Amino acid sequence: MEMKFLVVDDSLTMRRIVVNALKSLGYEQVVEASDGKEAITKLTTEGSTFVITDWNMPEMNGLDLSRWLRSNAQYENIPILMITTRGNKDDVIEAMKARVNNYIVKPFTPQGLKEKIEQILKTVEVKA
């Protein structure tokens, strides 16, 4: 099945940068959303196999989005990668508690993004 990414960030700049980086890595299928609420709508209408989300967002933040996905049978195993400016130890722990699969501190590099996606996919494959 071809990978389809859902990129969730309230910053248009960040969404564009993440989408560009994904495309440079060969992932052409990308859907965008500006917050958690829109992400849920996009998931329902357009579908996705991998979520990349920011933390700080209006309406529904990345943590709440992750909690919502994990509590929903349809999306409980969907890979979630958080990309955020929050780099404190407590922040990372809180994100892991919300059951994101991995964590990137902004600013990210395409290489770092590639590594995290591959790590997550490997873990998901092992579990499957």
Buried b (16+ CB within 10 A) or exposed e, 21-50: bbeeeebebbbbbbbbbbbbebbeeeebeb
Binding another protein by CB under 8 A: which of 96, 114, 121, 124? Answer: 96
Closer Cβ to another protein, 41 or 111, answer by number: 111
Q: Does 77 bind another protein (CB under 8 A)?
A: no
64 binds another protein (CB under 8 A): no
10 binds another protein (CB under 8 A): yes
Backbone angles phi and psi of 63, in degrees to 5: -65, -45
Query: Amino acid letter at 95?
Result: A
CB of 96 to another protein, least distance (A): 4
